[in-house]
Amino acid sequence: MQKPIISIIWWTWKFWQFWQKYFESKWLEVISCWRSWPISPIEAIRSSDIVIFSLSIRYTKKVIWDLIPLIPEWKLIIDFTWIKQEATDEMRKYVSWEVVWTHPMFWPNVKSLENQNIAFDPIMPWEKWDFIYNLWKEDKANLIEMSSKKHDELIWLIQPMTHFVNFIFWHMLKKRWIHPEDLVTISTPVSRMQTFIFSRFLWQQSGLYADMQICNEVYKKEILKELVDFTKQLEEIIQNNDFEAFEKEFEELKEFIGPKFLEKAMKVSTEIDEIVKNG
């Protein structure tokens, strides 16, 4: 096939800049538009072969729902949005397109795609998706195929729940006016790495994390409730000085994860800690 023209529809989020530079580095024509600048999204999608939605979570449904019926046939539609199932359910109604959702799981300051994770669900793939897939494969990206449903189930746990804990940690330090530099000086390897990981969370954009916490109904109604319930359960164990119950819970988690992954985690985290100490 001839080199496709790519349009990127973006809304308040800068991830599109990485992808514009990436595709242009492959000598592809890219049309990027924000709302009605420099051209309207409708003009952009009519002028391109591949349409990419790179949207912040809170605007995803409105923008995709508004624009999808206007996209001409035989385009490839790619979605970079964080939550997948709702968007892909809507896209399945339009059978005259190629449709693939993707989730590039990295920050846009990376230098290349090598060893970067990109999850994808080839809902209705044809030749245009083959072109993109091969492009990413040649650049040694880790391409992970999974269903939209499975993706959303995993992402609810690995991202918003983790960030919820990060948020609580920094709230507790701020309340006591304790700076992370004070913690690092007396930290064990585990605590030292956690402090840097928690700080990385705050280095990023508040709007992104607000979207992750607020724009996901399953997370709010199920995962967050379970998290709060277990926190209360653990508090009760601690307040009752119940060493046996605490150790039992700890050992059950240890058994669930298994020695193979625990040994790997110990090895990798030790290597990271050496870099942190010597940095």
For 233-262, the pLDDT digits (tens) are 999 999 999 999 999 999 999 999 999 999
The pTM score is 0.79
Q: What is the mean pLDDT of the chain?
A: 87
Q: How far apart are CA 239 and CA 250, in angstroms?
A: 17
Indicate if the alpha-carbon torsion angle 102, 108, 111, 117 is positive or negative: negative
- Looking at residue 113, its pLDDT comes to 95
- Low-confidence spans in the chain with pLDDT less than 50: none
C-alpha gyration radius of the chain: 22
Please state the φ and ψ torsions of residue 36, each to the nearest 5 degrees.
-120, 25
